[in-house]
Amino acid sequence: MEVMELLDAYEAGERTPEDLVQDAFDRIETDDTNAWIATRDRADVLAEVAELGDVDLAENPLYGIPFAVKDNIDYTGLPTTAGCPAYAYEPAAHATVVDRLIDAGAILIGKTNMDQFATGLVGTRSPYGECRNVHNDAYISGGSSSGSAVAVAREHVAFALGTDTAGSGRIPAAFNGLVGLKPTRGVLSTRGVVPACADLDCVSIFAWTTDDALRVEGVAAGFDSDDPYSRRSADDLEPSKTELSSITIGVPTTDELEFFGDEEAAQLFDDTIEEVELRFGELTTVDFTPFRKTAELLYGGPWVADRLSAVGEFIEAHPDEVNPTVADIIRGGDAYSAVDTFEAFDQLKTLRREAEQVLAGIDALVVPTAGTTYTIDAVQSNPVELNSNLGYYTNFVNLLDLSAVAVPTRSFEDGPSFGVTVVGEAFEDARIASIGAAIRSETAGSTRATAEPIPSSSN
């Protein structure tokens, strides 16, 4: 269910938005995935579709396209829970990004499941049920934007919004065969989004293609004067493709690649890189140290206190309503002093300068999106360490103010998809997406979820 294909089908009279909405609700009602926390009333959505009428598609670039949003993003008419029923509130207004998508003709179907308070990369930390990998239900979907990824991968909707602070918009894309675009910080307004780390949070996009993701970003992007984290440069973002004839791709040195003992993942990356080299020529190995050290700061430094600032008071007032792992992680922010914070800020400035020097010699950095994947049982047995492993290639991106796109390239033998992330400087969203599209076209790609995922061996 690609956005561009649907728009072409509408224009040709082969499909109608009403057809798509009916299909979306039919799939949701018969597909037991735990992807959704709440959906709108079918009749209300169909009435909204009827009001669209005949419009100029050029002026309504997402006309009749069904979409979903992670349930930490506000939509009036549905409560926002952030994955915690006791936290639920009724928003007085749509989030800015939701407003812009609806104004462009997109049709919201509902709110999707997530790791509670957007704290996790696994998709298992939710009272609404675990989201399972669409290719093998014994495996994790990835998180925290788990439901948004599953809803797109199962073709309930054509695209979905997630959020990404540590990698939540890229890890679920990696495991479910999707494109996950993590825009530059501040390009998409976070007004109306429950904060995790407000200074780092990004609204992310799940789609089947980079063209679709860029189309959605182009609609949703723009400066929001009511959002203190929005950036005026967002108005200058040009969602167009870039010239790829002379691109220098950097990859970490072999000794800095980490697959956590997963030889299959290491081989999948090697195979992908061989094909990337065929497309772009000889690759440049770079020092990954500043990126790795920055990644360690996200949960090993005072940025955890930002999460405590956002929801710590609620957690203390409702200790029995919060996932124990989530609560322990967020409470850890209390351990950092003001001195610790300023020392970490200084360390980050040094690491940013070192990262800038690395990126100055290349056009994009390509890394595995995740160094391995895990079963749900494994994550439940070791929730913190395994989650931390998943952030090795993602946690540094927002701290260093970079743009990134995850694209699928291959699949694990057991089903979950494997992919790489293309990382570039801030406001290079379109360029890195174009590089990601070229990499995807050169590689084996991934198989979309079938009507029924591969069952786990325990089923």
- Category of 212 on φ-ψ map: left (φ > 0), alpha (ψ -120 to 50) or beta: alpha
Kindly state the helix (H) or strand (E) to which residue 110 belongs, with its residue range: strand 107-112
Q: From CA 179, how far away is CA 417, in angstroms rounded?
A: 11
Distance in Å from the first CA to the final CA of the chain: 29
The closest of 315, 320, 326 to 125, measured between CA atoms, is 326
Give the alpha-carbon dihedral of 185, 116, 304, 388, to 10 degrees: -90
Q: From CA 316, how far away is CA 195, in angstroms rounded?
A: 17
252 phi/psi in degrees, rounded to 5: -65, 150
Q: From CA 84, how far away is CA 132, in angstroms rounded?
A: 19
DSSP letters along 413-429, please?
A: TTS-EEEEEEEEETT-H
The one catalytic residue among 70, 141, 204, 230: 70
Would residue 441 show up in a list of annotated catalytic residues for this protein?
Answer: no
Would residue 225 show up in a list of annotated catalytic residues for this protein?
Answer: no
The one catalytic residue among 126, 141, 145, 168: 168
Would residue 144 show up in a list of annotated catalytic residues for this protein?
Answer: yes
Number of other CB atoms surrounding residue 19 within 10 Å: 15
The one catalytic residue among 126, 141, 144, 146: 144
Instruction: Report, as residue numbers or ranges, the catalytic residues.
Output: 70, 144, 168
